[in-house]
Amino acid sequence: MTKSTVTQIRERFDADVERFSNLETGQSATIDAPLSLALIAATAARVTPHATALLDVGCGAGNYSLKILEQLPNLDVTLVDLSRPMLDRAVERVSRATTGRVTALQGDIRELPLAPGQYDLICAAAVLHHLRETAEWHQVFAQFHTTLRPGGSLWISDLIEHSDTRVQSLMWERYGTYLAQLKDEAYRDHVFDYIAKEDSPRPLVFQLDLLRTVGFSQVDILHKNSCFAAFGGVKG
């Protein structure tokens, strides 16, 4: 199947702002979204307690920035998203939660120039599965490492796949059951359809190895359930 273009993905998210604007539920199509959100915020605060600048990649409506700001008040926050309506909502919400600078960058993280040593924290939630070729994954992970200050940390929450097709089929069945129970089978089929069109996730092990390859000195898994995981690394 030919995957969706960046423009097609942006247009879908332009029309889906409300679903990403609930801090209690997070993105409901993601298993354990509120737990991953809370774990990443708490871990970011524990690992990088003196942070002053946060980069939120694929920020959506700003849930991850808001949760991190509960733990680390008044950070400067840079919000990145393809969707202007998402960015507008995120800026509105985040600006009310911090006295720091709030900067909005509309664009593709593969193309945005980020200065070295600019941030203490990076979060990337439900966004990296849109990367395609291995070279893109390496480029983006290396860019994250470069733009972090020493001691800074990167935290990811995302859809993943499994290296063994038998494990993948089991976890996909479990995810399908979750979606059908959340709403109904039509909703399950709708989610599976846009994942097939838009997404190209990689295994958790691949991403952990890549974090080490680009230079992260400590790598940790915070949570994994079925085909979703929360994990990250610290720059030495």
Residue 8: which pLDDT band, with cuts at 50, 70 and 90? confident
Put residue 58 in one of left, alpha, beta given phi > 0 → left and psi -120 to 50 → alpha: left
Instruction: Give residue 23's pLDDT.
Output: 56
Residue 7: which pLDDT band, with cuts at 50, 70 and 90? confident
Instruction: Give residue 20's pLDDT.
Output: 58
Q: Which homologous superfamily does the CATH classification assign to the domain defined by 6-235?
A: Vaccinia Virus protein VP39 (3.40.50.150)
Instruction: Give residue 115's pLDDT.
Output: 95
For residue 94, give every residue at least 6 positions away whose Cβ sits within 8 Å of its Cβ, in sequence order, or none.
62, 65, 66, 69, 77, 79, 102
Instruction: Give residue 24's pLDDT.
Output: 59
Q: Which tokens belong to 99? A: 């006295």
Q: Where are the domains of the chain?
A: 6-235
Average pLDDT over residues 122-140: 96
Instruction: Give residue 51's pLDDT.
Output: 98
Report how far residue 83's alpha carbon sits from residue 224's, in angstroms, rounded to the nearest whole number. Answer: 28
Average pLDDT over residues 160-182: 97
Instruction: Give residue 28's pLDDT.
Output: 82
Instruction: Give residue 25's pLDDT.
Output: 57
Digit-coded pLDDT (tens) for 63-113: 999 999 999 999 999 999 999 999 999 999 999 999 999 999 999 999 999
Instruction: Give residue 18's pLDDT.
Output: 58
Digit-coded pLDDT (tens) for 193-210: 989 999 999 999 999 999
Digit-coded pLDDT (tens) for 10-48: 666 655 655 555 655 557 889 999 999 999 999 999 999
Digit-coded pLDDT (tens) for 217-228: 999 999 999 999
